[in-house]
Amino acid sequence: MSDDEIKNLEIKLRSIVETIDVANALTAPLTLSIENLLRISAAEINSEEASVIVRDGDAGDLRFMSAVGKVAEHLKTLKIPSGKGIAGFVFSSGQPMAITDVGAENTFYAEVDKQTGYSTQTILATPLRHDGEIIGVLEYINRIGEPPFEPFTSAEMDKVALFAEAIASLVNAYESAKLFRDLGDKMLSADEKLKLEEMREWIKNLRETNEHKEMIDLALIVRELAGRGDAERQMCKGILESVLQYSDTKTETSFLSL
């Protein structure tokens, strides 16, 4: 491999690693925010379990993206086949559902209970929408306490719909960042021009540089500012554009060039 080929490969790898690390830095706080909203909203309606379910691949299957409750960690490893379950119906129809007795509901997907050992009896499920598109399902299971459980009410359905708006925005941001991260991972694993150990060492050294760490910090600062409102976003955009313009012209205006 020539020096030019090695240099071009390093530039490519640097871009991929930066994409992956920025995406990771952005998804971590989003995941935490989603889980916090799940806990708050579940407490509001006295529900024992809450989860966010999203599409998994192009086949129409669904997966548990986030969950809180007794079997939360187990749920995150499970999938719901296309067209199955109450979540599948809500995802495809866009209609919220409140089920008093899942045993009498034909659409209930019992395999999740079999895998987790949990006993689902009542469900409240509502779609997650972003820009008019259904991107997931917000689901609440059972009440806190012992059965028989009180049915979820229409007033509670309206209440969780408000939480669904906020959660949908976070889910959309998470999925977008995850898409970039997964793309970077695929590109990195597909490149076989460097030996595996050499690549790992190169990436390790890159991630330890101050430049790389500062780039991640800058991405998080921009995200924080952009999430504070329209005025802050416009100000942030203006500042960054000014910095870029300065960077393009600094060689002409630098005191060192006078």
Instruction: Judge whether 97 and 123 are in contact, CB under 8 Å.
Output: yes
What is d(CA 128, CA 135) in angstroms, rounded to the nearest whole number?
A: 6
Domain with 103 in it: 26-179
Q: Which two tokens stand for residue 39?
A: 């806990």
For residue 195, is it within any domain? no
pLDDT at 16 > cutoff 70? no
Residue 165 within any structural domain of the chain = yes
> Which tokens go with 125?
């499920």
Does 158 fall in a domain? Answer: yes
In three-state secondary structure terms, 51 is strand
Sheet of 123-130, strand order: 79-80, 61-68, 47-56, 133-143, 123-130, 97-99
Q: Which residues face 143 on adjacent strands?
A: 47
In a domain, residue 61? The reply is: yes
* Residues 105-134: tens digit of each pLDDT: 988 999 999 999 999 999 999 999 998 999
- 142, part of any domain: yes
Asked whether residue 93 is assigned to any structural domain, the reply reads: yes
How many domains does the structure of the chain reveal?
1
Q: Give the pLDDT score at 194.
A: 47
How many helices (H) does the chain have, and how many strands (E)?
8, 6
In angstroms and rounded to an integer, the radius of gyration of the C-alpha atoms of the chain is: 23
Alpha-carbon span 128 to 94, nearest angstrom: 9
Instruction: Report the chain's mean pLDDT, rounded to a whole number.
Output: 80
pLDDT for position 256 = 38
- What's the confidence (pLDDT) of residue 165? 93
Render pLDDT for 27-78 as a digit per residue (tens, 0 to 9).
677 888 899 999 999 999 999 999 999 998 788 899 999 999 999 999 999 9
In a domain? residue 144: yes
Q: What separation in angstroms does the CA of 240 have from each of 200, 219, 246, 249?
A: 33, 12, 10, 14
Each residue's pLDDT tens digit, 186-207: 555 555 454 545 555 655 665 6
What pLDDT sits at residue 126?
97
Q: What is the CATH number of the domain that holds 155?
A: 3.30.450.40
51 domain residue, yes or no? yes
pLDDT score at 167: 94
CB distance 121 to 147 below 8 Å: yes
